[in-house]
Chain A
Amino acid sequence: MSTPAQSQRLSLVAVSAGLGRPSATRLLVDRLTAATAERLAEHGAAPATRVVELREHASDIANAMVTGFPGSGLRAAVEAVAGADGVIAATPVFTASYSGLFKSFIDVLEDTALAGTPVLLAATGGTMRHSLMLEHTMRPLFAYLRALTVPTGVFAASDDWGAGGDSYTADLSRRIDRAAGELAAFMAGRPRPGGAHGTAEEDEDAVVPFEQRLAQIREPGGG
C-alpha cells in the first residue's frame, strides 16, 4: 500500500477536556499522542499533531451555545478537529459520564464533522469503577457521529499512574500502545480521495439542480 506523500502530512488532533493544571487527562492525551505519532512513523507517515485544550475555549463554547456560531478562536479548533485525519478524544469522568464541557464542544461540531474519522476514546477518573463509561457513554456518542472508533479505549484511573498490570489486565503503557497502534493503522489505511481536503472548495458550492430537487418531493417517501 502506498503511504501519503510528505506534502500531505497526516493531521492528528487530540481534544482534552481536562480542567486541572496539571491535568491527568492532558497527561494521558500527551502519552496517547506521542504513542500514535510513533506508530504512524513506523507506517512512514509522521503526523502533524495538535492538542485542543477545551478549558481555553470554555467561554467561547458557552457563547456558541447562545449565538449558534463558534467565535474565531473556537472556530480554528473546530476546523482542526473537523479536518483531522485522526482524533484522540479525552475527557475526565464527571457524574458517571463525559464532562459537560466536553459534550458542549461536541455539540458545537457539525453532525458530520467526524463522520469516517478514526477516533481513539480516552478518559480519566478517580477509580477504575468508572472505566466502562468509555463504552456506555463515549462510544455511543461517537457512533451517532459516525466516527470510526478504534476498538481499544483507554481509561486511566488514579491507581493506573502508579501500577503495573496483573494477570487479567494490561498495564496503562500496554493499553496506550495497543490503542495507539490501532489508531495509527486506521489513519494510515484510511482512503483519502483527492487528497485530504482537495475537493472541499468544490463541495462547498455543490447544489442539487432545482428541477431534480423538486421532482424528489413527488417521489414516494421522497424529499
Chain B
Amino acid sequence: MQFGVFSVGDVTPDPLTHRAPTEHERIQAMVRIALKAEEVGLDVFATGEHHNPPFVPSSPTTLLGYIAARTRRLVLSTATTLVTTNDPVKIAEDYAMLQHLAEGRMDLMLGRGNTGPVYPWFGKDIRQGIDLALENYALLHRLWREDVVDWEGRFRTPLQSFTATPRPLDGIPPFVWHGSIRSREIAEQAAYYGDGFFANNIFWPKEHFQRLIRIYRLRFAHYGHGDPDQAVVGLGGQVFMRPNSQDAVREFRPYFDNAPVYGHGPSLEEFMAETPLTVGSPQQVIDRTLAFREYFGDYQRQLFLMDHAGLPLASVLEQLDILGEEVVPVLRAEFAAGRPDRVPDAPTHASLLARAAEEPDPT
C-alpha cells in the first residue's frame, strides 16, 4: 500500500500572523514538502492543478519534473490533472516526457476541475464537463497506446496520422487514477478502462463515497478486470497531530476556523465527526485511517492533505516527520495484516512492465 501527501497549492494567509506567503515562497514550499515526503519514507507526492489565484500550481509537470530530479524513490502524481480544459494531446506529451525524466516514477490523477470560469478561459463549457472528461480521456488513452492515431471527436480538431512524442517509457503508458467526489460516470469510466479510482473523501461524509466506490468495484469486475476487491482504490485524508490531542486541537483550530473550504461553518468537532478530518494524537490518526478499510475495503493509495489553510511550512514539515515516523509505519503493518494476497498493490512502472512481459502483446 502507498502512502503520500497531496497539495492543493493554495496561497492562504496564516490566520495567526495575517501574512500570506509569496507565490515564490509557496512554490518553494511545495518542493520542500515533496523532498520531505521522500525523506520521511512516504511513497507519493501529488500536486493539484489550478489556473486562478490563490493557487500556484498551474504547471504540474514542470514542478514534478524538478522534484523528480531531486528525489530517488518518490512517486510523483497529480491531484488532479484537468482532463476537461487541457488538450489531451498536450497531456499525453507532457506526462510522457515527465515519465522519461522520472524514470517511470510517476502516474497521474485525472479530474474535471470545479472552478466555473476556468472552462471559458480555456474555451470550454462547464456544462460539458463530463463529456469533455470522457472524450478527452478516450483520446489520451489511445495516444499512449497507439503509435499512429487517426481521431475525430466532438471537442478537438481531428487528427490524421498523429504520433504523440515521446512514446511512453518502455511502451508502458503512465498509470491513471480517475478522481471524483461526485460523479458515478467517472467511477464507470475508471472501471471500464481498469484504471484506478481516487475518491477524495476528505470534505464529505463517508456514505457518499461508499456508494461511489461500490459502483466502481462492481463495474471493474463487470468489465473483466478482476474481482471487485481487486479494483484499485485511492482515498484522501486530512490530519493534524501532536503527541497530546488537546494540543493538536488548540493549535489547529484557528486554521480550521478560517480554512478556505469549510471555515466559518461547523465547529472543528462537528466537522471531525462528519468527515475524515482528524486532529489529535498520532494514535487517533492511525485508528481513524484504519477504519477506512472497514468502510471502503482494502485499498491501494492513501494521500493526506497536510499543507493548506495557511499552515506555516515549519509546521507542515513537523507534521510530515510525525506522519513518517509514527503513523505510516504502523499503518503499513496494520493494513498488511489480514490483507488477502489477491488484493493487488497500486501499479507502478516496474509492476506494469513486469505484467506486460508476462502477457502476450494484444496487438
Contact = CB atoms under 8 A, between A and B. Distances in A.
Given A210-B192, A217-B154, A223-B130, A67 B265 contact: yes
Contacts of B266: 63, 66-67, 71
A207 B185 contact: yes
B192 A205 contact: no
A214 B135 contact: yes
A111 to B, nearest CB: 14
Interface stretch (B41-49, B210-218, B352-360): B210-218
A67 B154 contact: no
Contacts of B191: 210
A218 to B, nearest CB: 6
A10 B223 CA distance: 41
Contacts of B211: 204-205
A204 B204 CA distance: 18
A66 B270 CA distance: 13
A126 B19 CA distance: 50
A213 interface: yes
Q: How large is the interface on A (under 10, 10 to 19, 20 to 34, 35 or more residues)?
A: 20 to 34
B134 A213 contact: yes
A68 interface: yes
Contact of B131 (A62, A205, A217): A217
Contacts of B105: none
B128 A223 contact: yes
A5 interface: no
A144 interface: no
A6 B266 CA distance: 41
Contacts of B274: 67, 69, 71-72
B265 A205 contact: no
Interface string B64-91: 0000000000000000000000000000
Contacts of A213: 134, 185, 188
Contacts of A211: 192
A168 to B, nearest CB: 49
A61 B174 CA distance: 43
Q: How large is the interface on B (under 10, 10 to 19, 20 to 34, 35 or more residues)?
A: 20 to 34
B277 to A, nearest CB: 11
Interface in A8-58: none
B138 A214 contact: yes
B262 A66 contact: yes
A69 B205 contact: yes
Nearest to A206: B184
A196 B185 CA distance: 27
Nearest to A205: B215
Contacts of B154: 217-218, 223
A195 to B, nearest CB: 21
Interface in B255-301: 262-266, 270-271, 273-274
B302 interface: no
A163 interface: no
Interface string A160-201: 000000000000000000000000000000000000000000
Interface in B212-267: 214-215, 218-219, 223, 262-266
Nearest to B138: A214
A1 interface: no
Contacts of B138: 214
A208 to B, nearest CB: 7
B265 A217 contact: no
Nearest to A209: B188
Interface string B169-189: 000000000000000110111
Contacts of A75: 205
B203 interface: yes
A63 B257 CA distance: 12
Contacts of A204: 211
B118 to A, nearest CB: 19
Interface of A: 62-63, 65-69, 71-72, 75, 204-205, 207-211, 213-214, 217-218, 223
10 nearest CB pairs, A to B: A66-B265, A210-B192, A223-B131, A63-B266, A63-B265, A207-B188, A217-B131, A69-B204, A67-B262, A67-B265
